[in-house]
């Protein structure tokens, strides 16, 4: 990063005390751990066990680090939590940030809870008196889905680290914007920044070392965490010291809302706001709207936006530039081009072998809605343009589509116009444009300054389970997920429940991946038994590690752009239940 000075967040969004004292640790009559955090209050946690050794893990679940974002605080930057009286019970998981399809299943008791009291975090530790490296996992979920409770500690905490999993505001509560002081935008990003501030101030009370913090993150979380490295108001050097990026980058087309004000207005109109309302009236309407109705309107807006415009024209689940708090005055890519780059960051970064099939699912559904399936002429001449538009990469000059055609499609495919036979090509197009290309660019930017501390990988292992579909009925699709986006998480966290019992082969992979990730967090060098030495990214496109049943080192990461075309059977339709 350029030579900024001041506190961690220079704009004055947050403030922190420089005076810290040691917490008091005890256990209650039932053996539950109790910590008295200086300046805040007491917390009662609980215990769980390591998945492989049975080691005891203290867990403090959904600790509030910001005040509830209700009323006038909705959409605004988070307010640091105030001290509390008594003992706060954080022994069990709470509801996460509200998500529409989840709220539809809530009980009346759950719906009666304060849904916007969701800015909290989970801390897992084995020894509060130690001084261990800290891993802060920032989850993904397309900016509108996911929950801290989906990332339990039972694999990672087999190692000598402290794990923190923040919950931040999702969907419109965290990412709606009109670029005004009323709905500034990027609230979810600011939540995570405040969580990292909280870690710096408090993690030593849980046995963590605030000078050894590694952020580990995936998908939209990776987009956020890499983006803040290019923010002029955030000094990431004082927040974290290493970064693990899994399938995501701030350079991706899907990370930013290009028309936030129009999208906010559309959402309000879907919820019943007058079409000719002023911007101030729209904002007042959204501030007062019931949480469930807000999320329902967002879900409707999302479906309409994806179908008609593409992923870069959907509001309420993207970051925005030009917001009043100054977090991202311009796109991180343009900031990077101006030379504002953090130059001292050890980075472990990579993607999944078939990282495009999650997007291919949405693309296929949109094509069906637009009644474009089965049209040979469209398949041959304009399908690549349609797909680019859906992916937020509309190409009026024709250069991108021409290069994609040359790289991913044969002349025979185009002449025949059979979409089923073109699916492996479109899988690689989606993976390259949405994940692999932007991820490689981020790795290259870092390797220019840290060639000995940048580690690149491709996750190629296909295990017993898959998360392909995210709940969608994949039986209607003419393709499979392959080594799918998110599948790597099953080897780091025992979730979802159906995938928490790994077979022997999958357990071996999980242990090796956990060893690689945690050794990088602890020592800066990823290593594991049974894995060859992982060379750093000393050249423009490699070398890189291929994570599979047998781990190997390859030389040119751009070879991964055609991973599906090299083996089209990998995404051929087969029966395998989605989790």
Specify whether 274 is located in the same domain as 250: no
Average pLDDT over residues 488-498: 96
**What is residue 337's predicted lDDT score, i.e. its pLDDT?**
95
Give domain status of residue 571, yes or no.
no
Give domain status of residue 544, yes or no.
yes
Q: Which domain holds residue 299?
A: 260-317
Specify whether 469 is located in the same domain as 359: yes
Of 205, 225, 255, the position where a domain reaches its end is: 255
Q: Is 177 helix (H, G, I), strand (E, B) or coil?
A: coil
Residue 496, preceding peptide bond in cis (omega within 30° of 0)? yes
Give domain status of residue 141, yes or no.
yes
**What is residue 579's predicted lDDT score, i.e. its pLDDT?**
45
Quick check: 62 pLDDT over 50? yes
Give domain status of residue 376, yes or no.
yes
**What is residue 577's predicted lDDT score, i.e. its pLDDT?**
46
Give domain status of residue 332, yes or no.
no
Number of domains in the chain: 3
Specify whether 37 is located in the same domain as 130: yes
Specify whether 194 is located in the same domain as 273: no
Sign of CA dihedral 295, 297, 301, 304: positive
- State phi, psi for 319 to the nearest 5 degrees: -75, 165
**What is residue 21's predicted lDDT score, i.e. its pLDDT?**
57
Specify whether 152 is located in the same domain as 273: no
Give domain status of residue 474, yes or no.
yes
**What is residue 225's predicted lDDT score, i.e. its pLDDT?**
98
Read off the tokens for 579: 């989790």
Per-residue pLDDT reduced to its tens digit, 317-355: 999 999 999 999 999 999 999 999 999 999 999 999 999
Of 255, 272, 293, the position where a domain reaches its end is: 255
Quick check: 575 pLDDT over 70? no
Sign of CA dihedral 306, 308, 309, 315: negative
Domain of residue 382, CATH code: 3.40.50.1820
Average pLDDT over residues 449-461: 98
Give domain status of residue 226, yes or no.
yes
Specify whether 352 is located in the same domain as 386: yes
Sequence-ordered strand ranges (E) for 289-370: 347-352
Residue 448 vs residues 226, 229, 443: alpha-carbon distances, Å: 16, 15, 9
Average pLDDT over residues 131-155: 97
Specify whether 510 is located in the same domain as 485: yes
Per-residue pLDDT reduced to its tens digit, 5-60: 233 454 444 544 434 556 788 888 788 999 999 999 999 999 999 999 999 999 99
Instruction: Give residues with Cβ within 8 angstroms of 260, minimum separation 6.
Output: 176, 177, 178, 179, 185, 315, 318, 320
C-alpha 524: how far from chain center? 22
Give domain status of residue 267, yes or no.
yes
Between CA 160 and CA 126 the distance in angstroms is: 8
Specify whether 462 is located in the same domain as 375: yes
Specify whether 268 is located in the same domain as 250: no
Per-residue pLDDT reduced to its tens digit, 70-127: 999 999 999 999 999 999 999 999 999 999 999 999 998 888 889 999 999 999 999 9
Specify whether 245 is located in the same domain as 300: no
Specify whether 188 is located in the same domain as 107: yes
Specify whether 463 is located in the same domain as 417: yes
């Amino acid at each position: 990063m350029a030579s900024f000075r001041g506190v961690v967040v220079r704009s004055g969004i947050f403030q922190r005390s420089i005076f810290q004292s040691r917490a008091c640790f005890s256990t209650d009559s039932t053996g539950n751990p109790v910590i008295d955090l200086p300046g805040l209050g007491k917390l009662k946690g609980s215990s769980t066990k390591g998945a492989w050794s049975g080691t005891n893990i203290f867990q403090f679940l959904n600790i509030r680090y910001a005040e509830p974002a209700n009323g006038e605080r909705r959409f605004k930057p988070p307010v640091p939590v105030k001290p509390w009286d008594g003992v706060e019970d954080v022994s069990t998981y709470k509801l996460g940030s509200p998500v529409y399809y989840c709220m539809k299943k809530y009980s009346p008791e759950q719906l009666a809870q304060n849904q916007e009291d969701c800015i909290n975090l989970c801390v897992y530790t084995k020894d509060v008196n130690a001084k261990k490296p800290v891993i802060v996992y920032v989850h993904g979920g397309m900016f509108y889905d996911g929950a801290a409770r989906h990332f339990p500690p039972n694999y990672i905490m087999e190692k000598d680290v402290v794990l923190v999993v923040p919950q931040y505001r999702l969907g419109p509560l965290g990412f709606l914007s009109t670029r005004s002081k009323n709905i500034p935008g990027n609230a979810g990003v600011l939540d995570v920044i405040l969580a990292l501030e909280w870690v710096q101030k408090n993690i030593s009370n849980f046995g963590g070392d605030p000078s050894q913090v590694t952020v580990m993150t995936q998908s939209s979380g990776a987009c956020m965490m890499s983006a803040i490295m290019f923010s002029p108001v955030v000094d990431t050097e004082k927040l974290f010291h290493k970064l693990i990026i899994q399938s995501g980058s701030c350079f991706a087309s899907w990370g930013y809302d290009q028309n936030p004000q129009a999208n906010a207005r559309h959402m309000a109109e879907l919820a019943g706001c007058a079409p000719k309302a002023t911007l101030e009236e729209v904002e007042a309407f959204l501030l007062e709207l019931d949480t469930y109705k807000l999320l329902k309107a967002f879900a409707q807006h999302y479906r309409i936006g994806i179908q008609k415009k593409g992923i870069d024209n959907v509001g309420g689940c993207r970051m925005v530039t030009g917001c009043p708090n100054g977090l991202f005055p311009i796109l991180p890519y343009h900031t990077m081009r101006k030379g504002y780059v953090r130059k001292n960051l050890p980075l472990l970064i990579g993607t999944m072998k078939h990282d495009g099939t999650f997007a291919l699912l949405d693309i296929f559904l949109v094509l069906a809605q637009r009644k474009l399936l089965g049209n040979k002429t469209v398949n041959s001449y304009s399908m690549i343009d349609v797909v680019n538009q859906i992916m937020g990469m509309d190409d009026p000059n024709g250069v991108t589509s021409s290069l994609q055609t040359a790289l991913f499609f044969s002349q025979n495919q185009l002449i025949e116009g059979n979409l089923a036979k073109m699916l492996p090509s479109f899988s690689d197009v989606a993976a390259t444009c949405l994940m692999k290309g932007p991820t490689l660019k981020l790795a290259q930017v870092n390797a220019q300054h840290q060639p000995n501390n940048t580690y690149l990988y491709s996750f190629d292992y296909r295990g017993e389970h898959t998360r392909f579909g995210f709940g969608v009925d994949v039986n209607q699709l003419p393709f499979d997920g392959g080594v799918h986006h998110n599948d790597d998480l099953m080897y780091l966290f025992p979730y979802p429940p159906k995938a928490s019992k790994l077979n022997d082969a999958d357990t071996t992979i999980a242990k090796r991946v956990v060893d690689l990730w945690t050794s990088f967090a602890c020592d800066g060098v990823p290593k594991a038994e049974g894995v060859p030495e992982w060379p750093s990214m000393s050249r423009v496109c490699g070398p890189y590690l291929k994570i599979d049943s047998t781990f190997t080192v390859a030389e040119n990461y751009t070879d991964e752009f055609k991973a599906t075309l090299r083996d089209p059977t990998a995404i051929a339709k087969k029966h395998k239940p989605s989790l």
